[in-house]
Amino acid sequence: MVFSELYRKKLQNLSFQIWVKYVNSAFSEVSGEDGLSDIVYLFLLIDCDTDTAIFEKIRKGLGLLSEHQKKYIFDELAAYVSELDIEAFLNCVVSQDFVWAVGLFRNFLYSEKVSVIDKFILYGELVSELDNAECFYIFTNNIIDIAASVFSNDLSVKGEVRFAVRILKMIIRDVGKYKDESQEVLDALYVQNEVWKMYYEEEISHRKKVLTESFNLKVNNAIKIGDYEKVIKLIGPYESEISGLLKKKLMFCRKRLANK
């Protein structure tokens, strides 16, 4: 029970170190609930400063366990969501095992003791590029409500607002069922909210800069060879977002095609 002892040290604000050999032993010699409980404590010890070698060993160790054993660990962790470093946890767990941690994720996303940024990080990880992403869409209404509360609170910090915008745009793009609801929250509580006007203008300015850098060379090369259709296909969909110079080039290409 090495990690339970280290956990006690952590609670007492005493220094401790996680050794790779102890991680290997914990997974290779696991026996019964006591052994699994020690692994639960291991998850409560790791954070973003933990050596990446530890993350790799935990990931490999989990691969040795049965689905039942993994579910037991994740269910036990559900009682400690306020102590769990979610980014460290996600570094140790492969996406195929997320389905066994639904109870843990639910507690995490609904806990008042967990920061909104950590909730956005978790939700984003759950629904992005996963084969089983749809089983986590059940948390979407809660995430939209959290984003709305961030926008409605004048004291929200910049990081919270930025994450809320990012997560809503991801929902609009990838979770079609909630597209309209997310767009409504984004427009009404962020875009049209004077409190966040500066952030919104910064975002639009950055977006224009990125689009300009991305399209400039391609547009110029296409115009040089008279491929006006390519220019229209390339930047036409972004007409409301691109810089004034790119808009002029778009109008030029449209006129050239119209006069053919």
pLDDT in tens, 100-146: 999 999 999 999 999 999 999 999 998 886 666 777 888 999 999 99
Question: Has residue 211 got a pLDDT over 90?
Answer: no
Band the pLDDT of 32: cuts 50, 70, 90: low
Amino acid at 22: Y
Q: What is the mean pLDDT of residues 197-201?
A: 89
First to last CA, the chain: 80
Question: Has residue 219 got a pLDDT over 80?
Answer: yes
So what's the pLDDT on residue 145?
96
So what's the pLDDT on residue 99?
87
pTM exceeds cut of 0.85 = no
More confident of the two residues 17 and 35: 17
Amino acid at 217: L
Give the dihedral sign, CA 223/224/226/229. negative
More confident of the two residues 212 and 116: 116
| Stretch among 82-86, 93-97, 139-143 having the lowest mean pLDDT | 93-97
For tokens 């090369």, name the residue.
Answer: 221
| Stretch among 4-18, 84-98, 113-127, 202-216 having the lowest mean pLDDT | 202-216
So what's the pLDDT on residue 131?
64
Average pLDDT, the chain: 90
So what's the pLDDT on residue 237?
86
So what's the pLDDT on residue 111?
95
Q: Please give the torsion angle defined by the CA atoms of residues 247, 249, 251 and 255, in that order, rounded to the nearest 10 degrees.
A: 180
Q: At what angle do helices 179-186 and 158-174 cross, to 10 degrees?
A: 150
Q: What is the mean pLDDT of residues 30-51?
A: 88
**Would you list the domain boundaries of the chain?**
1-111, 115-192, 207-260
So what's the pLDDT on residue 259?
83
Question: Has residue 42 got a pLDDT over 90?
Answer: yes
Nearest-CA neighbor of 61 among 102, 15, 26? 26
**How much of the chain, in percent, has pLDDT values that exceed 90?**
70
Question: Has residue 206 got a pLDDT over 90?
Answer: no
What is the SS3 assignment for 117-157? HHHHHHHHHHHCCCCCHHHHHHHHHHHHHHHHHHHHCCCCC
